[in-house]
Amino acid sequence: MVPLSARANGTKATILVVDDSPAMLRYLRLLLEIDSYQVETASNGADALLCIRQGCSPAVVLLDVQMPGMDGLKTLRRLMKLQPDLNVIMCSGVDDPAKIRRATLLGAKAYLYLSAAVERCLDSMSRAETETNSRGSVITLPRPPHTRYDTN
């Protein structure tokens, strides 16, 4: 089902999502594409830098703070050297005031704290993909308010 407003407005800006969690990449891609954004993904900082070097010009980068290898703060520093006017929003499951301050000083426009509920939802989805024969909970996400859907 596609929101009528998304079809009427056409495609919006490109968003680059950088996260080492495949479940989080799928989740954010789905949310953004439902709202008609173009979505590029990178599973680590090095891939994000390569994407930018190869000509990707995202309106916004959603960047995970905690990644193995090059973490989000190191990636942010390098992204800002490549494109100082880049709009980067840091994302984390950990509310860490020191990292928030550091990210802001490095040029991040915002810091998004992903709640434990989103993390539990993603964990449930990952388990559901691998445990096809087990019984479990059903999670129903509500429709956004004031949005009309068609049935195609």
Residues whose CB falls within 8 Å of the CB of residue 111, separated by 6 or more in sequence, listed in order? 89, 90, 91, 92, 99, 100, 103, 104
Predicted structure pTM score? 0.72
Six-digit token string for 63: 């960047």
Q: How far, in Å, CA of 41 to CA of 31, rounded?
A: 13
pLDDT at 127: 61
Mean pLDDT of the residues in the chain? 79
pLDDT band at 86 (very low <50, low <70, confident <90, very high): very high
Residue range 26-66, pLDDT digits in tens: 988 998 998 899 999 999 999 999 999 999 999 999 999 99
Six-digit token string for 119: 């993390």
Q: How far, in Å, CA of 135 to CA of 92, rounded?
A: 30
3-state secondary structure 8-52: HHCCCCEEEEECCCHHHHHHHHHHHHHCCCEEEEECCHHHHHHHH
